Amino acid sequence: MDFADKVVLITGGTGSFGKECARQLLNHHNPRKLIIFSRDELKQFVMASEEFPLSRHPNLRYFIGDVRDKDRLRMALQGVDIVIHTAALKQVPAAEYNPSEYIKTNIFGSQNLIEAALESSVSKILALSTDKACAPINLYGATKLCADKLFIAANSYAGEAGCRFSIVRYGNVVGSRGSVIPLFLEMRETGTVTITHEEMTRFFISIRNAVKFTLECLDRMQGGEIFIPKIPSAKIIDLARAIAPECEVKIVGIRPGEKLHEMLIGPDDARYTWENGDYYTIEPTFTYWSRPPRVTGRRLSYGDVFASNVNNRWLTEEEIQKMVEECSR
């Protein structure tokens, strides 16, 4: 996609994904303007003074705001062409204890963004989702599923030439805030690594590849799709042993809201899912808007799943060590 004449806004732009997204956009795509929208003034100050100084990036802007505040979103979206929506509350156990806060940000915040975008000149919004939104059992996953549904339905209200809304869904992002590898690196210093269950599996994607895939999907999107990259799985205990081979591994039990395994495509999703090379696309179940029919790819069958415990691609020990090196930099 050519960003040269585009104004791009990243919600939650001071987070791990937002910063890497800004890095790739500024270094490789040179948008006309890039706006970092977030509620944390300190993180914006650090980004502006240390990582992305305005002296090197005159097309970069910092905008303090919260997705819970629709009026502030309206102001931020003036003149914006593309939005990458990353703002969310994400910690699973915290969501179980603070459900109303997650609902306000992840659901109401998404609705605020949709309504503000429909009143503006925004042409595309690509929202980040999570494997926990597929058949959710925790509050965080349920809020992200609701947000996914809101973004898909928003296409119906945008009109023939209005804003288009799509979603990217993937698993654990290596090196992001709260991810397991940096946690294991800290634990390694104590001589003991704790894991919740010896059979637990998760999907993993590097933050660089997560951003790259997201930017590619901005080109692919027609509105209403959920894009899913084909990413590898790993057993959490294998990660622990690869990162801290000399440490004792202690099993502490599954935390509130956790699954043993995660899914990116469930058996009912499969009826609407198409496989294209290194990614899947879940098509919308309804299209009350003008949208060309899909003509490429292999359609999955009911009952097909893409789950972390039945994946045909698993991280090797060499790949795990490479991820550890990236997180240690």
pLDDT tens digits along 107-127: 999 999 999 999 999 999 999
pLDDT, tens digit, for every residue of 302-322? Answer: 999 999 999 999 998 888 888
**Residues 31-60, mean pLDDT to the nearest whole number:** 95
Tokens of 4: 């040269």
Catalytic residue annotation = 132
Geometric angle at alpha carbon 324, from 320 and 325, rounded to 5°:
120
pLDDT tier at 261, thresholds 50, 70, 90 = very high
pLDDT of residue 317: 83
pLDDT of residue 164: 96
Task: Write b or e for each residue in 109-121: b if 16 or more Cβ atoms lie within 10 A of its Cβ, otherwise e.
Answer: bbbbbbebbbebe
Residue 303: closest CA among 329, 269, 328, 275: 269
What is 7-171+204-231+266-308's CATH topology? Rossmann fold (3.40.50)
Residue 66: partners with Cβ closer than 8 Å, 6 or more residues away: 39, 72, 109
Rounded Cα distance, 202 and 320, in Å: 13
Residue 126: closest CA among 160, 81, 95: 81
Which helix or strand (DSSP H or E) is residue 95 part of?
Answer: helix 92-97
Rounded Cα distance, 97 and 9, in Å: 31
pLDDT of residue 218: 97
pLDDT, tens digit, for every residue of 168-208? Answer: 999 999 877 667 888 888 899 899 999 999 999 999 999 99
pLDDT, tens digit, for every residue of 60-83? Answer: 999 999 999 999 999 999 999 999
The torsion angle over the Cα atoms of residues 231, 194, 322 and 85, rounded to 10 degrees, is 50
Alpha-carbon distances of 328 from 74, 174, 267, 324, rounded to whole Å: 39, 11, 38, 6
Q: Return the bridge partners of 280, or none.
A: 228, 275
Tokens of 161: 């030439």
C-alpha neighbours within 13 Å on the C-beta side of residue 292: 6
pLDDT of residue 162: 87
pLDDT of residue 178: 66
Rounded Cα distance, 168 and 144, in Å: 12
Residue 295 has pLDDT above 70, yes or no: no
Residue 125: closest CA among 93, 147, 143: 147
pLDDT of residue 249: 92
Residue 255 has pLDDT above 90, yes or no: no
